Structure 1
Amino acid sequence: MKSPSIALPSELIRLSPGRISNRTIILVALGIYALVSWMILNGADNPPIRFRFDATRLVEASLVLKLHVGGALAAFGIGTALMMGVKGRRLHKRLGYTWVVAMAVTAISSFFLTGLNGNQFSWIHGLSAWALIGLPMGIAAARRKDIARHRKHMTGMFTGGMLVAGLFTFLPGRMMWSIFFAA
């Protein structure tokens, strides 16, 4: 039976029983990001925003933060290549294990970083905990040849862990914002 869909331009939302599409998650995250960014910038009397690259804060950051950013960048790059490439080949398997290690480094290092919620864990740490649970589940599914479940786990972690959580590292006032933008 074909999953029901909502007819929107380019079929932005595709529903299946009990599952929200990754496109929907990304669109909702972008909307929330835009709203929160606007609220932050509006509270600062709408300073002009200019693109610039200044990695000074990252260079001066702690080793844990550098490890976290390095793991996230590696996971994002490898994950993008995996999503766009041919599946099931030897290269996919090797890159997949490398991606799992990069995701694990990113998730584990996040538990040593706070700041979004004062000195306490934030909702982003919940994504890190889920990644540490989901990574072995995704590997196990691939080993059992349950490709649909493997795809679901890994695509969900890429969408939630890399795209959604990554997007919120670029909120005005956070370190990644200050590296790429000047207000």
Structure 2
Amino acid sequence: MDWSPLIAAHVVAALYVLVLGPLNIFRRRRDRTHRIIGYTWVSAMYFVCVSSFGIVTDGHFSWLHGLSAFTIITVTLGLVSAIRRNIVAHRANMIGSYIGIAIAFVFAATAPGRAIPLLLADDPGTAVVVAALVLLTVGGLYLAVRPRTVAAPVKVVHTGKAPV
């Protein structure tokens, strides 16, 4: 298969979306780390959705393009909900968007003739390297933005007695 730069960038961004999503969905704290990972995820999600319109098979859009249009709307609604502090709507839109891209990924990874199965068949080494690089950079991002815990200072109590 001839991989265009657009298809390659689309696939890499989709991998970022798939890895970053659970980091925020399953984290207990909604803090600065959540916001940085979230903005990175939203940016990658928009790229995946918009770039999909440049990837057309046989001159026709598919149901995946409809999912992309719908996802642009749901991610935007999720972002606006977070800004308005409507956390229930924010969570529902973002988790729903993540589930949608996970379904699209399963289809893209298993349907014959699609780019991912062809890459896995023709050049599995490249697929492994790309996946490893995505995981490493996501790990690096998480380590860079996670809260640093500092040990609490030890409280010294003076009793007036000499140490034994």
**What is the TM-score when the length of structure 1 is the normalising length?**
0.62
Give structure 1 stretches of 5+ with no counterpart.
1-56
Higher fraction of helix: 2
**What is the TM-score when the length of structure 2 is the normalising length?**
0.69
User: Is 1:134 matched up with 2:55?
Assistant: no
* Aligned partner of 2:37 among 88, 95, 99: 95
SS at match of 1:98: helix
SS at match of 2:71: helix
Deviation at 1:175, TM superposition (A): 1.6
Q: Report which of the two structures shows the higher radius of gyration computed on alpha carbons.
A: 2
Deviation at 1:86, TM superposition (A): 2.3
Deviation at 1:109, TM superposition (A): 0.4
* Aligned partner of 1:180 among 108, 120, 123: 120
Partner of 1:147: 87
Conserved 8 A contact 1:86-1:92: no
Measured in 2, the distance between the counterparts of 1:110 and 1:87 equals 32
Give structure 2 stretches of 5+ with no counterpart.
123-164
Code of the residue aligned with 1:133 in structure 2: it is I
After superposition, the CA RMSD in angstroms is: 1.4
% of aligned pairs identical? 34
Equivalent positions of 1:46-125 (< 5 A) are 57=1, 60-115=2-57, 118-125=58-65
Code of the residue aligned with 1:130 in structure 2: it is F
Code of the residue aligned with 2:26 in structure 1: it is M
Deviation at 1:179, TM superposition (A): 2.1
Measured in 2, the distance between the counterparts of 1:174 and 1:136 equals 28
Count residues in correspondence.
121
Deviation at 1:87, TM superposition (A): 3.8
Measured in 1, the distance between the counterparts of 2:120 and 2:88 equals 38
